Structure formats: C-alpha cells, structure tokens
Amino acid sequence: MAAADQLLKKAESRDVLFGIVGLGYVGLPLAVELANAGYRVLGFDVLQRVVTGLNAGHSHVKDVSDAQLEAIRRAGRFEATTDGSRLREADAISICVPTPLSKFKDPDVSYIVAATETVKKALRPVQAIVLESTTYPGTTREIMLPALESTGLKVGKDFFLAFSPERVDPGNPVYQTRNTPKVVGGITPDCLRVVCALYQPAIETLVPVSTTEVAELVKLLENTFRSVNIGLANEMAIVCDKLGVDVWEVIDAAATKPFGFMKFSPGPGLGGHCIPIDPHYLAWKMRGLNYKTRFIDLAGELNTEMPAFWVHKVGEALNQHSKAVRGSTVLVLGVAYKKDIDDLRESPALDIIKLLEQQGATVAYHDPYVPEFEEDGHRHASVPLTANTLARADCVVIVTDHSSVDYELVRRQGRMIVDTRNALRRGKGHRYRERVCRAGGRRLSGGDWERSHLCRCGRAENPPVAAKRSAHL
C-alpha cells in the first residue's frame, strides 16, 4: 500500500503515534487535543525539567490544567521524553519550537534548524512532518525539505511535509486549539491530504491552502494585521491626547458602526511571542527581495514608542501634584503582556518599569499571575494589592487589565492613576459619565467634569489642560 494510504488508514482508525517537538504554549495544548481525539502522543522537548514535570502530571502551561494532563496520561495517551531518537516511533510529527528574533531583529530560525536535524535523524518511510512555528514564507521548502530529503527519502512518496500555523490565543476562554480553524499547506497534494486527515479528528475546521508558502504567509498576515491596527489605535491615542479628547469614547462610538469598522484598542505597547515579532519575519524576507514593508515598519515604530508615551504620562500626572518622577513610588499593576495570562515575553510592562527606574522612580508591581520575575539580573516580586500598597504609591500605572483585579479598590485608594487600558471604566454602567477626581480620588460625573471640574467631594479641581488630557487616557 502507498505510504499516503497507510497514513490515511491509520488516521481513520486513530492508530497513530503523534510526536510533538517543543512542549510549550503551542505544543502542549496541541498534544492534549490530539490525545483527546484518540491518538497516542509522544512529546519531545530539550528541557529536562519540562519533561520531568509533564511525566509527573504537572503542566507548566496555563491553558492546560493538571487534570487535563492527568486524564490523557491515565488513558495511556501521553508521554514526554528528551530522547529525540524516539521520534522514529511516531507516525506524524508536529514541530512547535520558538521562532524569536536575533539581536538585530532578524529571524532566528536556529530552533527550527535544530528540530529539523533531530527529526531528520529519526525520519523513516511513512511519516508526516508538520511545521507549526511561525516563520517567513519559504522556510518549510527551503530549510526543512532539503534537510529531510538528504536522507534519500522522497517527499510526497516516502514522507509528507506540510506547514500549519498555530493560531492559539493563550487565555482565550472561547477559542482554543480545537475550535480555531487550522490552515494547512502541503509541499505536494498528497502531503496536504495526509496532514489534513491526521489533524481532522482533533481540529473542528481545517482550511487547506495550495502551498506551504501560502500557509506561512497567512499567519504573518494575521499578526501583521493586528500590529498595524493596534499601531493605528495607539496613534489615535496620541492624537486624542493632544486634542484633549477621550480616545476610548471615540473608538467605542466608532465600533457601533455595524460594518466597515473593526475595533482595536490602544495600550501600553505590544507584547507576547507573536505580534511584536512575526511582522519582522516578513519585513526581513522582503528586504532580501529589495522591498521595504512600510506599514510593518511604521506600526512597529508606533507600538514600540508606547511605553515611553505612558511613562511621560506618569511624569505629567506626578507633575500636577508638584512631584518629580525621581523619588516617587510607582505601583505597576500587571506585568504580563496581556490580561489573564502569566506570559511576560516582550511585555511592555518591562520597558515601562525600566524607563521609570531610569528616571529615578522606586517601582513596585502587582500581578496575580506573575509572583516574581528576573530582568537584567534584578529580581522583582509581586506585592499584594491592598488599600495600603495603593495608598502608599504616588502613582499607580495600570499596564495589564487582569480580570481578577479589584479596580474599585484601585479607584478608591489610588492617589493618582494612569490607566493604559481603560480598565477603570470598562464594564461600568456609566461608561462615559465617570471620571476620577485626582484630588480626592473620588468619582466625578461627566457633566460636572465638562462644566466646572468640581468633584463630588466638593473641592474645585480646575486641572490644567494636561491634567484633563491625562484623565481622558
């Protein structure tokens, strides 16, 4: 029987051992879905502590609970190893290794190269290999294919090769690996057919495309789209700040248009393993073809400037109270790059903390998901969020809008608050009718604010224009 038919038959009967190379934010949830679909999964990672932890039933990825892991282990459908040669046992292998940037913001595909080398050593006839790591168009065909074919095995005949970008959104309670449509592009039509059949039991919707380059570019388009639109929202925040207009009110009102507008929010800057990084993969590829990707570059510039913008807002807010940044205590609320997750990678909070410290502030942070972290050799530990910690800070900067934070407490106790996410007002009934009175830390109705800047505590505020603007943001 032809190799393709053998794998199709195995997929149909679920008699497949799926190898996963790289058991991180992407690889582990994928392993769980494949095991839940009835396959046996062999996870391979170079980190002994990751493998030991998983084999002991401890998940290091927030989206996978210990209970989920325990269930697939008990069913005999999951095992982790640091022994790459065991990938020879696998019928299919998905590669989910990191794709960071080099110091000069060029793609660092060394993890893909290393993983390909491991897979190559284990490659045998009747195997399917899928690259899931985000990368520039051409990686699967130009880097992986020659390496794998150097074994003498032929793609589309002896083994099958495809690219299928992972779209997982950590912390998203609705869309997870299983119900997020999955794009697949194969090197040959049989590569596409085999890989779609292998994924089909685990993923609700598959989106086959004609080539690996199309699939690679789909992922880069998605994340570039986000980066560019977040860049536009951030520029709108700067524009509104200069005009003394509430950017959140503008965006929320624009979003009532039922067509032709998609809501993106400004914030402290980009974070995570994807949006700040992936567009650079495409920009780099295009530089090699003598083309400058202007949207990508401009969005990157705007988004990178946001931490400095917010630190400037902290300086302005302190200045209204005749304080300097130097010597002030600033409490950073949230250091994860987005809400309800524990991922610090590329988090703008790290830049905000560094900039504040460079200017002489004493910075503490609170994050319910990040008890401690180390940056540039300094260890930082989360402080408890109490009335006392809030009141002791000269300024509170909300950087990550975690759902579990008591924003009412922050509002009541914070002496001065710079809210990069609109967390204080979001979800409240009086969306645009509430303002924080900076003098008394009490609420001020929208009407009062516009007319006389009198807060309910009865003290006239009459803030200078800059104060009013910072309140808008």
Pick between residue 6 and residue 55 the one whose CB is nearest to ligand NAD.
55
Binding mask 305-344 for ligand NAD (x = CB under 6 A): ----------------------------------------
Compute how many residues bind ligand NAD; rule: CB under 6 A: 28
Rg (CA), the chain: 25
Pick between residue 133 and residue 470 the one whose CB is nearest to ligand NAD.
133
Residue identified by tokens 């059949």 is 197
Residue 94, interface with ligand NAD (CB under 6 A)?
no
Out of 19, 107, 170, 315, name the contact with ligand NAD by CB under 6 A.
170
Residue 35: both structure tokens together: 């095991």
Catalytic: 240?
no
Among residues 274, 381, 385, 379, the alpha carbon closest in space to that of 337 is found at 274
Out of 31, 64, 87, 168, name the contact with ligand NAD by CB under 6 A.
168
Residue 93, interface with ligand NAD (CB under 6 A)?
no
Among residues 83, 78, 87, 141, the alpha carbon closest in space to that of 112 is found at 141
Binding mask 115-154 for ligand NAD (x = CB under 6 A): x--x--------------xx--------------------
Out of 3, 10, 27, 63, name the contact with ligand NAD by CB under 6 A.
27
Q: Give phi and psi for 222, each to the nearest 5.
A: -55, -45
Residue 273, interface with ligand NAD (CB under 6 A)?
yes
Residue 190, interface with ligand NAD (CB under 6 A)?
no
Say how far apart CA 334 and CA 369 lie, in whole Å.
Answer: 9
Among residues 280, 281, 277, 276, the alpha carbon closest in space to that of 138 is found at 281
Q: With 0-12 CB in 10 A as exposed, 13-18 as middle and 19+ as buried, what is 181?
A: exposed
Q: Report the Cα 446 to chain-centroid distance in Å.
A: 35
Residue 217, interface with ligand NAD (CB under 6 A)?
no
CB 349 within 8 A of CB 291: no
Q: What are the start-end ranges of the H helices in 156-211?
A: 189-199
Say how far apart CA 124 and CA 291 lie, in whole Å.
Answer: 40
Choose the binding region for ligand NAD from 3-11, 19-27, 68-76, 188-196 (rule: CB under 6 A): 19-27
Out of 6, 8, 38, 46, name the contact with ligand NAD by CB under 6 A.
46
Residue 221, interface with ligand NAD (CB under 6 A)?
no
Residue 346, interface with ligand NAD (CB under 6 A)?
no
Residue 50 CA neighbour count, 13 Å, CB half: 17
Active-site option among 191, 274, 437, 455 = 274
Strands 395-398 and 378-381: unpaired
Residue 410: both structure tokens together: 């922050």
Residue 227, interface with ligand NAD (CB under 6 A)?
no
Position with the least CB separation from ligand NAD:
24
Residue 18, interface with ligand NAD (CB under 6 A)?
no
Please say whether the dihedral angle defined by the alpha carbons of residues 72, 75, 81 and 83, taken in this order, is positive or negative: negative
Active-site positions? 274
Interface residue list for ligand NAD (CB under 6 A): 21-27, 44-47, 50, 96-99, 111, 114-115, 118, 133-134, 166-168, 170, 273-274
